[in-house]
Amino acid sequence: MRIDPLPPLTNLIAFEATVRLGSFTRAALELNLTQSAISRQVAQLEAFLGRALFRREHKRLHLTVSGQRYAERVQQLLAGLAETTAEVMDLSGEQQLVLACSSGVAALWLGPLIGHFASAFPGIDVRLRVLDNLDTLLKPEFDLALYFLREPPPPGLAGRQLFPEWVGAYCAPDYLGGQQLSPPELLDRRLLMIEDGQRRWLSWTEWFARLGYPAPRIRQRLTVSQYPILVDLAIAGHGIVLGWRPMIDAHLRSGALVEACSECVQGQGGYYLLWPGDRQPGLATRRFEAWLNDALSASP
């Protein structure tokens, strides 16, 4: 059932501030509006109610009988709403954190990392949403997201770059017998390629071009739509994969992958930490971001 009649919330906020502060001017300063805007909001409320709320005498405001009765109730309701809003924000921010990322970020980097965070903050319920297409991620569905972007964050999202795009060529230790090849020599080997219809990732063709080898003739290729599968294929010795630092670092430290070529390319993108631009971060969100900053600072 619809709750009716209800005036616009902005009218009520302007009216409450005017009553509490005693003038349109002081209410305007508090709400960061003009004096005429506050006066107009109150006038709209009076028109909605069909009653005068103030008597304007000698540049001073006095509540009418109706205004006094209405002000008491509005102040109670707005105060209660603010208190409940704060409680909900604290509750959700304290107990729940929803992270979002692509499958590659989840498998290679963020997945293992959030396990350490969960151990450090056992009172926070952590959820990880894995979606490869950032465009399908809705703002109400997450608190923080980590995605690779070649352009600034899309409208509605705020963010900052965690690390730039550095891309090298990697393979299993036995695939090349421990040797490193020059970029042209890589073309004689099987190159593992990601199917990227949206062209968000640096391709092998672009990688070669940035090293001064335009229009390379790739003789052997294996194409997969999921980047973690490409990495698994490389670890199993089935070819050479482009690896994004630091996403690939755990496999380098473990020895599962080694450099197939000494060359490394800096791309135009980077990995970004994103959040809804119109939302105040809860306590869990702030704790994770601070924890992540410390973890990145401590990493080699």
- pLDDT at residue 147, rounded to an integer: 92
Question: Residue 50 region, left (φ>0) first, then alpha (ψ -120 to 50), else beta?
Answer: left
* Contact criterion met (CB below 8 Å) for 257 and 171: yes
CATH tag for 96-153+271-298 (out of 1.10.10.10, 3.40.50.970, 3.40.190.10, 3.20.20.100): 3.40.190.10
Residue 93: what pLDDT? Answer: 46
Q: Using 50 as the pLDDT threshold, list the residues of the chain that sit under it.
A: 92-93, 198
How far is residue 286's CA from residue 92's CA, in Å, rounded to a whole number?
Answer: 12
Whether the domain at 9-89 and the domain at 164-270 fall into the same CATH topology: no
Cα 277 → chain centroid = 8
Q: How do residues 133-189 score in pLDDT, each as one tens digit?
A: 888 888 888 999 999 998 888 888 999 999 888 999 999 999 999 899 999 999 999
Q: Which CATH architecture has domain 9-89?
A: Orthogonal Bundle (1.10)
Instruction: Domain ranges for the chain, please list them.
Output: 9-89, 96-153+271-298, 164-270
Name the class of domain 164-270. alpha beta
Tell me how crowded residue 91 is: count the other CB atoms within 10 A of its CB. 12
With residue 54 as reference, give the H or E element that holds it: strand 54-57
